[in-house]
Structure 1
């Protein structure tokens, strides 16, 4: 019996080799991967009420009313138990309103959902305490004379510290001349804060600028170290203002209201 033509043998060999490769590719396409997919989240005006309760409550001194907004911003990520496929990862890489992040960069490894929740709540509480300390330090006021409470349930993490501190400064002192820090604008921003007023990076800034623009902000306060990340998605009509200290942010907001130049990314 004659041997099959050489070309036919070659085609059959290629087909046989392609089958396991295709199987591996299909498995990879649908197998869960150690990534989280993040997207722009909610924003909250810290100068107003949230869920029928003031975000910032002040006693022991008169707190003034404000007409502008100071919006803290969030990102939303797929949960630690949610499977992310190769298709999800590829889709996230090609979208500006999504970010693919290592799961361990979003959620501490080896922890239960309850432990992660407690961790986020603890970070938020620490951020709030630091914000109050930084604001009162900037205003040269004693915590013995001014009582401040912050309430923002269902949102965790430390990234609202800067906006909390600015909200306290605005409600107590404004710009020192009776005017609002916001100048009636909608200001958004992000950044951790230390009791000495130092502002630190937070991550997810490109997504947060999109949330801010969506909700009407025209100015975004960004930790200076993350300017490049914030500029990754250029949003028309949203001014990026870098800050390294609480005093920087206050000075920039005062300059904006006075129509003076301000730093920019």
Structure 2
């Protein structure tokens, strides 16, 4: 270190500064930080194709002729996504932030502690599948397809646990036809705990078909003190859902897209495919929002990034969940019209107004 001691004070200061700068440069360009960057993701037209296959395909009987209508290149109902960049260095993160199209958030907001990246992806994939199921139910309900009874929710450790499936359509109990919840209750009226009953269901099979199954359930005792005593307990919360004589397949089910936020756009895509005409009236429409089976549209994350993604691909109208409007208004891309949506009928009414040249309610 004799060379260092021989330097002037200014020389020593400069040398130390250069070393510290070098350390900072190395660390900033090689060491990962506990943040991820959220940015505009892919957008996919639900009226179009994915990997060369139509987003929606239909199989079965009485498929509406409308599914064969040819949508023009100008017809868009795009779902939007957010990209996630993980494993960033400090300099990489600063570069994305400086671009103005990305937001930095703590990594634990996307990948919670105690969960691996694969576990998070599996949960997102499950949410995506549930979103597809909810969108199909919401669309068929909107189109007034007949309602039938499904198993619905199954309580843990109930008599039906690991025997019935929430997606089973209930057909009969001990040979007595069941059309709704009242009929199901009537079929169980004279049963007792410990009695074995045969529940006939229609269960979805690979390829979209459905197979009838006779399943044995040993009834239990209802744990609810207010329930009628002595009656056998099946342990389900049945749900009425619409049913069509055909099945609906979504090609995005095989993609690596995750999360529930495409629900609204999936629903609109199904409705447009099953009805004559064009919901978009030739407009480039994009949007986001979860949807439940009753058609209620819920808020999502990354609204600003999704609006940027929509604008980048040419969208001029963006459907915004009502609860996201306040955030959406903080940064509206130039030329993008925001439409406020709290439920499915808000969206369909808005699209009808747009087709007439009128302005729907905005954020």
Larger radius of gyration: 2
Is 1:96–2:103 an aligned residue pair?
no
Q: Does 1:180 align with 2:287?
A: no
- Report how far residue 34 of structure 1 moved: 1.6
Partner of 1:200: 298
Alignment of 1:23-38 (within 5 A): 29=28, 31-38=31-38
For residues 7-26 of structure 1, give each alpha carbon's deviation from its aligned partner in whole angstroms, at most 9, with x where no partner exists: x99x9xx99x9999989977
Rounded to whole Å, the distance in 2 between the matches of 1:227 and 1:56 is 30
CA distance in 2, matches of 1:244, 1:215: 25
CA distance in structure 1 between the partners assigned to 2:292 and 2:331 by the alignment: 28
**For 1:59-208, what aligned pairs fall within 5 Å after superposition?**
59=59, 60=61, 61-62=63-64, 63-64=66-67, 65=69, 66-67=71-72, 68-79=75-86, 82=87, 84-141=88-145, 142-152=242-252, 153-173=255-275, 178-208=276-306
Q: Work out the number of aligned pairs and report it.
A: 250
More strand by share: 2
Q: Give TM-score, length-normalised by structure 1.
A: 0.83
3-state SS of paired residue (1:216): coil
Runs of 4 or more, structure 1, over 6 Å off, are 17-28
| Larger displacement relative to structure 2 (245-254 or 97-106) | 97-106
The partner residue of 1:228 within 315, 326, 330 is 326
TM-score by length of 2: 0.62
Confirm or deny: 8 A CA contact 2:296 2:342 kept in the other structure.
yes
Q: Which runs of 5+ in 2 are unaligned?
A: 1-7, 146-241
Q: Report if aligned partners of 1:41, 1:76 keep a CA contact under 8 Å in 2.
A: yes
Counterpart Cα distance in 1 of 2:79 and 2:302: 13
Alpha-carbon separation, structure 2, partners of 1:232 and 1:21:
40
1:38 CA displacement: 1.7
Deviation at 1:89, TM superposition (A): 3.8
**Aligned partners of 1:239 and 1:112: how far apart in 2?**
39
> Residues 95 and 227 (structure 1 numbering): CA distance in 2 closer, same or farther, change over 3 Å?
farther
The alignment yields a C-alpha RMSD, in angstroms, of: 2.7
Whole-Å Cα distance in 1 between the matches of residues 102 and 323 of structure 2?
21
| In 2: Cα distance, 1:247 partner to 1:69 partner | 19
How much does 1:168 deviate? 0.7
Give structure 1 stretches of 5+ with no counterpart.
1-7
Q: CA deviation at 1:232?
A: 3.0
- CA displacement 1:148-207 (0-9 Å, x = unmatched): 12121121111111100000111112xxxx431100111100111111111111111111
Range with bigger deviation, 110-119 or 64-73: 110-119
Is the Cα–Cα contact under 8 Å of residues 131 and 165 in structure 1 kept in the other structure? yes
- Distance in 2 (CA, whole Å) between partners of 1:229 and 1:93 is 18
